[in-house]
């Protein structure tokens, strides 16, 4: 299998799975409190990642830089950002959360320029990101009711989460090239779980937690597919493609969520969904224009 095909399949995989995780989180919150739910997800994911490393004979990298990156990722890529997302989804609709999280690629562009010397963001790339954002807004604009007073802190939590995730993505692109994707995933995920579970036990109403099929299926699905598979693939892709292009997956996942709702839950697929999805796809083509042109030239030996 060619490298380009592996990259395309990996990109599609994270988009499809992450497109289902917003729904899985909401299902889990029917039975578990937010911080405890996220903590259990990451602790179980750490077990899955450890077993995968053993099966593939991958050693945990423990050089000084790796340890520093593990600590930074554990706190600022998993514990705090996911705590913010889980907490926010109690108060704001997932559609609004998807729109707000759309600032992620814009933040990636900003921090790429600040932290990676010589990083050039082509005008077409920025136009593509803007089109994608407009597309996401078109999809969800009719489904949200916005009350600034009541929704403010939930909205702020999503925006802060997206910004933190963007900073860490750029930092890992710059400094984490030597790390194996599984090794890069294990310790931060474990840290996230270790930090979030005590917070949930201390500050949440644990008497409201119910260990039913919703809780078990949500945590297991999010641990295995939403963390082990997706984040390992994400870190693998991070070494091979532009961090800005990779960040555009955050625009595709809401489309996947809408399509899954249409197929599985018989939800309406409206004209605004179709128009928004088309804008997102056009935006991604714009953002990838230089890469596609380069690939076509190399493939067909064009001058």
Residue 294's pLDDT is 58
For residues 16 and 52, what is the distance between their CA atoms, to the nearest angstrom? 21
For residues 80 and 96, what is the distance between their CA atoms, to the nearest angstrom? 20
Please spell the DSSP secondary structure of 232-247, one letter per residue.
Answer: HHHHHHHTTS-HHHHH
| Residue bearing tokens 């600022």 | 76
Does residue 159 lie within any of the structural domains? yes
Which pLDDT band, with edges at 50, 70 and 90, does 45 fall under? Answer: very high
Does residue 287 lie within any of the structural domains? no
Kindly report which listed range (128-132, 178-182, 197-201) carries the lowest average pLDDT score. Answer: 128-132
Which pLDDT band, with edges at 50, 70 and 90, does 2 fall under? Answer: confident
Residue 245's pLDDT is 85
Question: Is the model more confident about 265 or about 140?
Answer: 140
Does residue 74 lie within any of the structural domains? yes
Residue 102's pLDDT is 82
Does residue 133 lie within any of the structural domains? no
Residue 299's pLDDT is 52
Share of the chain above pLDDT 70, in %: 88
For residues 106 and 126, what is the distance between their CA atoms, to the nearest angstrom? 8
pLDDT of 206-242, one tens digit each? 889 998 999 999 999 999 999 999 999 999 999 888 8
For residues 128 and 277, what is the distance between their CA atoms, to the nearest angstrom? 13
Radius of gyration of the chain (CA): 19
For residues 83 and 161, what is the distance between their CA atoms, to the nearest angstrom? 9
pLDDT of 242-270, one tens digit each? 888 888 888 888 888 777 777 766 666 67
Which pLDDT band, with edges at 50, 70 and 90, does 146 fall under? Answer: low
pTM of the model: 0.83
Mean pLDDT value of segment 89-94: 74
Does residue 255 lie within any of the structural domains? no
| Residue bearing tokens 């939590």 | 157
Residue 291's pLDDT is 56
Mean pLDDT value of segment 14-25: 85
| Residue bearing tokens 């990101």 | 129
Residue 67's pLDDT is 95
Domain span including residue 116: 3-122+146-242
Residue 75: Cβ-neighbour burial (10 angstroms; 0-12, 13-18, 19+): middle
Highest mean pLDDT among 49-58, 81-90, 119-128: 49-58
Which is nearest to 49 in space by CA: 227, 218, 233? 227
Residue 214: CB atoms within 10 A of its CB come to 17
Does residue 107 lie within any of the structural domains? yes
Does residue 301 lie within any of the structural domains? no
Residue 87's pLDDT is 86
- Structural domain count, the chain: 1
Does residue 290 lie within any of the structural domains? no
Q: Where are the alpha helices (DSSP H) in the chain?
A: 3-29, 34-55, 64-73, 80-88, 94-100, 103-115, 123-140, 148-175, 181-203, 213-223, 230-238, 243-247, 249-264, 271-287, 289-300
Q: What is the mean pLDDT of the chain?
A: 85
């Amino acid at each position: 299998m060619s490298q380009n095909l592996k990259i395309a399949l990996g990109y599609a995989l994270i988009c499809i799975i992450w497109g289902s995780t917003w729904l899985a989180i909401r299902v889990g919150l029917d039975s578990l409190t937010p911080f405890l739910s996220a903590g259990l997800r990451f602790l179980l994911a750490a077990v899955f990642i450890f077993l995968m490393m053993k099966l593939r004979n991958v050693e945990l990298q423990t050089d000084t830089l790796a340890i520093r990156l593990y600590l930074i990722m554990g706190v600022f890529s998993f514990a705090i950002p996911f705590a913010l997302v889980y907490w926010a989804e109690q108060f704001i609709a997932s559609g609004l959360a998807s729109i707000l999280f759309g600032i992620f690629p814009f933040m990636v562009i900003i921090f790429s320029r600040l932290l990676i010397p010589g990083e050039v963001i082509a005008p077409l790339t920025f136009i593509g990101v803007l089109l994608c954002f407009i597309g996401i807004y078109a999809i969800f604009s009719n489904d949200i009711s916005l009350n600034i007073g009541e929704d403010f802190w939930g909205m702020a939590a999503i925006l802060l989460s997206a910004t933190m995730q963007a900073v860490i993505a750029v930092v890992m692109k710059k400094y984490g090239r030597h790390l194996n994707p599984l090794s890069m995933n294990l310790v931060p995920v474990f840290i996230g779980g270790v930090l979030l579970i005590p917070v949930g036990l201390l500050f949440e109403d644990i008497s409201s937690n119910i260990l039913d099929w919703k809780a078990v299926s949500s945590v297991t699905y999010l641990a295995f597919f939403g963390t082990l598979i997706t984040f390992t693939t994400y870190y693998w892709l991070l070494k091979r493609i532009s961090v800005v292009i990779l960040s555009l997956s955050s625009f595709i996942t809401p489309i996947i969520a809408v399509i899954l709702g249409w197929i599985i839950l018989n939800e309406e697929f409206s004209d605004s969904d179709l128009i928004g999805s088309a804008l997102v796809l056009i935006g991604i083509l714009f953002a990838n224009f230089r890469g596609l042109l380069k690939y076509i030239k190399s493939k067909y030996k064009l001058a």
